[in-house]
A and B are shown apart, each in its own frame.
Chain A
Amino acid sequence: MTMLDDDRLAELFGRAAEAFEVPESGIDEILARAERGTTRGDADAGDEAGASALSGGLEADDGAGDTAMTDELTRRRRLVTVAGRHRILSVAVVAVVVLIAAGTIGAVVRSPSGPTLSSLRAVGEKGARPGGVAGPAASTTLPVLTPASPGPAFAPGAASPNSSSGTDARTGAQGQSAPALPPGAVGQEAKIEQTGTLELTVKKGDLTRTMTRLTNLAGSVGGFVANSQSQNGTGGGSAYGTISMEVPVNDFASVLKAAEQFGKTSNVSTNATDVTGQYVDLQARLTALEDSREQYLTILAKATSIGDILSVQEQLDSIQQQIEQLQGQLQLLTSQTSYSKVTVTINEGTPPPHPGPLPESGLVQAWHDSVGGFVAGVEGLVRLAGPLLFALLCLVLAAVGGRLLWRRYQRHRL
């Protein structure tokens, strides 16, 4: 720099500064105010800037200077002034306090015994079992329905429980009042219909041998083969066969287990249906009809006219017919609960594709999709609420920190 060297610059600055007239009484007024001790208002006005301007030693003296400042009104006014100067900071502090208070209140108000989303979902999953009974947990559980343990005593009012892909069967018995039981129903042994399905994959050429072994297995436990069907692998397809066995209910589990050993098991399902209620109902109706028949027989013995005799005889025939129908149903139930049906599908090589569930109609599917979408939306909102609250808190903290850093940066930049 040739023209503006340091001396020239100092000269120009000096001449420019001289253009400002110095207040004549400036320093005298300052000293007078300082000595009179009337500096409080001025010092307070510039206290904030002074705190950053002066060294740490000076800041330490701030408390001593404020010792006389005990007036509550002045303090409040000062607080309001500071809050007004730092509006963003004040809003941020208030927001953080409100969030913390809301969180605390929420944590306190939330009942620990109330149902939570996870518990509801867990209940829903339990209730959504195929064939199961939705609602609260069953009060009675039928353990493994093996012949050795035929199950507990009669559960009144139990719905027909079904279980699949497992050996447990849960009843849907609830804590509701049971209907009046017919005489002799108490202590009635549970009548359970059991069916099982098994898919086996055997080596090529073992189809016939496996079906023979299964037939022998059924015969060895006192059962029989109700249906059998096989097809050779013509036209390039693999051979497969199906065999339905009726085995005594006591041997159901052992037969199923033994059959699993005959090949590679790809799918096992069991189904148990409690028909105890139906059985008891049939028995009760049968007993009542038998009582009616006895009464009609008594009337018939006392009848004198032909018309009366014919009329009573007609009623007796009707009752007798109903009795025989009920007896037939009882025998069928007894047979079904005495024998369990085991259906084994045997494939050579790869098993055929498992047929999926039947497609629902468009309207039903749309309704299910709609309900599912609504529930998913609500769950998503609830799930998002927590992270959003956290993000909001982080934003507030970031805003506060950024504000402080910005102020500091501005101060340093000066």
Chain B
Amino acid sequence: MVEAQLAEWLEEGYVPSFRTACLILGNRSDAEEAVQEAFLRAWRFRDSLTDVPSIRPWLYRVVVNSCYSKLRQEIPHRDRRAGDEPLSHVAADGAGPEASAERGEVADTVLAALARLPLSLRVPVVLRYYADLSERDIARAIGRRQGTVKSRLHEARRRLAADPALSALATFGDGKDGAGDGDGDAVAGEEARS
């Protein structure tokens, strides 16, 4: 594996990987550390990338496992700090206060719904609907069979649909945003496809 090529892949995959980790962990600083560790680990094992059939699932697998490590080893054993609130670093993209508030509300609702999902369901649904991975790639990323991924996605969708806050947000969004507001999925889709 050429280092320059891996560096290019890491550079392109940093943003979607970071935001994927944010959705899984629900915390910006944890996600930043997890992605950093994942990328450094990927760099360390760059020589074995010749055996990897596809770089995207592999990279997400490293990121997901880094998130697992964070959740399993570090986060349960530390006190919650004030600065670790989930949306302590909401992106400021120059929009007005109303738009920022609305974005924060959406993020809060989605993250709360995701937080209520067990990790075994949260990871596949994030990889599927944010990172836009296929079921096959998700299976590679989490090291499970494709049928398992399918059933977990089904269960995750069922639970999210049963979430009243998320359903209300979807209903509200249908009326207010309409089909024209496709920033989120468009960005994610493009980032993911890159």
> Which residues of A line the B interface, CB within 8 A?
1, 3-4, 6-23, 26-27, 29-31, 33-35, 39, 42-43, 45-46, 48-50, 52-55, 57-58, 60-61, 64-65, 85, 410-414
Q: Knowing A13-B23, A20-B22, A22-B19 touch, does A46 contact B107 (C-beta < 8 A)?
A: no
Report yes or no: B72 in contact with A410, Cβ–Cβ below 8 A: yes
Report yes or no: B68 in contact with A49, Cβ–Cβ below 8 A: yes
> Which residues of B line the A interface, CB within 8 A?
3, 7, 10-11, 14-15, 18-20, 22-23, 28, 31-32, 35-37, 39-41, 43-45, 47-48, 51-52, 58, 61-62, 64-66, 68-69, 71-73, 87, 89-93, 103-104, 106-107, 109-111, 119-120, 123, 125-126, 129-130, 132, 142, 144, 157-158, 160-161, 166-167, 169-171, 173-174, 181-189
B residues in contact with A7, CB < 8 Å: 185
Residue from B22, B36, B92, B107 in contact with A15 in the complex, judged by beta carbons closer than 8 Å: B107
Report yes or no: B186 in contact with A14, Cβ–Cβ below 8 A: yes
Select from chain A the residue with minimum beta-carbon distance to B87.
Answer: A19
Docked complex Cα distance between A42 and B90 (Å): 27
A residues in contact with B183, CB < 8 Å: 14-15, 18
Docked complex Cα distance between A30 and B41 (Å): 11
Docked complex Cα distance between A4 and B174 (Å): 10
Which of B107, B111, B183 has the most chain A CB atoms inside 10 A of its CB?
B107
Residue from B18, B52, B66 in contact with A49 in the complex, judged by beta carbons closer than 8 Å: B66
Report yes or no: A12 in contact with B40, Cβ–Cβ below 8 A: no
Q: List 6 A-B contacts (CB under 8 A).
A: A13-B129, A26-B35, A30-B10, A50-B62, A55-B48, A414-B120
Docked complex Cα distance between A10 and B187 (Å): 11
B residues in contact with A42, CB < 8 Å: 36-37, 40-41
Q: Knowing A16-B23, A30-B10 touch, does A43 contact B41 (C-beta < 8 A)?
A: yes
Report yes or no: A413 in contact with B120, Cβ–Cβ below 8 A: yes
- Do most interface residues of chain B lie in helix, strand or loop, or is the interface mixed? helix
Select from chain A the residue with minimum beta-carbon distance to B100.
Answer: A19
Report yes or no: A50 in contact with B41, Cβ–Cβ below 8 A: yes
Report yes or no: B66 in contact with A14, Cβ–Cβ below 8 A: no
Select from chain B the residue with minimum beta-carbon distance to A412.
Answer: B144
Q: Knowing A43-B40, A46-B66 touch, does A10 contact B10 (C-beta < 8 A)?
A: no
Select from chain B the residue with minimum beta-carbon distance to A65.
Answer: B44
Residue from A4, A34, A85 in contact with B161 in the complex, judged by beta carbons closer than 8 Å: A4
Residue from A18, A30, A46, A58 in contact with B69 in the complex, judged by beta carbons closer than 8 Å: A46
Docked complex Cα distance between A35 and B66 (Å): 20
Report yes or no: B28 in contact with A17, Cβ–Cβ below 8 A: no
Give the shortest distance, in Å, between A146 (CB) and chain B (any CB).
87
Docked complex Cα distance between A30 and B34 (Å): 12
Give the shortest distance, in Å, between B171 (CB) and chain A (any CB).
6
B residues in contact with A58, CB < 8 Å: 45, 48
Report yes or no: A17 in contact with B10, Cβ–Cβ below 8 A: no
Give the shortest distance, in Å, between B17 (CB) and chain A (any CB).
9
Docked complex Cα distance between A411 and B143 (Å): 10
Select from chain B the residue with minimum beta-carbon distance to A4.
Answer: B161
